[in-house]
C-alpha cells in the first residue's frame, strides 16, 4: 500500500510491530499523511488506553503497523523510522510519527 495521503483513514484496531515486539490497540484510531518541510510523514493517532504504550514506543527506532476496521485491512505501513511519540494536548491521545 502507498503513502496514505493527507486524508485521514479511520480504523478500530491497529497492530504495531517494533523489532521482535508487537501489540494491538483498539478504539478510535486515525492514520494520516502529513507534509512538513517538504518531507512526508505518517501520523498514527491511538486512544489513550495504556500509559506503558508511550514509554515502550519511545524506545523504538523502527516501526510497522497494520490498520483495520471491522476486521478489514485498511492500511499496512512500510517499515518506518520513528521520528516522534507524543500525547495530544486536548484529549491525551498517543501520536506516533514515522517516515519511510
Q: Domain ranges in the chain?
A: 9-99
Name the H helices within the chain: 51-58
Dihedral angle over CA of 14, 20, 3, 9, nearest 10: 10
Q: What is the pLDDT of residues 17-63, one digit of tens each?
A: 987 888 888 999 999 988 878 788 888 998 876 777 777 788 888 99
Q: How confident is the model at residue 11 (pLDDT cuts 50, 70, 90)?
A: very high
Q: What percent of the chain has pLDDT over 90?
A: 33
Does the domain spanning 9-99 belong to CATH 2.30.110.10?
Answer: yes
Which run of H or E residues covers position 40? strand 39-46
The pTM score is 0.83
Quickly tell me which residue has 493527507 as its cell.
6
What does the alpha-carbon distance between residue 22 and residue 33 come to, in Å, rounded to a whole number? 22
Judged by DSSP in three states, 13 sits in strand
Amino acid at each position: 500500500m502507498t503513502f496514505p495521503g493527507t486524508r485521514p483513514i479511520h480504523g478500530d484496531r491497529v497492530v504495531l510491530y517494533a523489532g521482535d515486539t508487537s501489540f494491538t490497540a483498539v478504539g478510535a484510531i486515525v492514520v494520516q499523511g502529513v507534509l512538513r518541510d517538504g518531507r512526508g510523514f505518517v501520523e498514527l493517532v491511538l486512544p489513550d488506553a495504556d500509559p506503558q504504550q508511550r514509554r515502550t514506543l519511545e524506545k523504538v527506532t523502527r516501526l510497522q503497523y497494520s490498520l483495520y476496521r471491522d476486521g478489514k485491512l485498511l492500511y499496512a505501513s512500510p517499515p518506518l523510522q520513528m521520528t516522534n511519540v507524543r500525547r495530544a494536548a486536548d484529549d491525551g491521545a498517543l501520536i506516533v510519527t514515522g517516515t519511510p
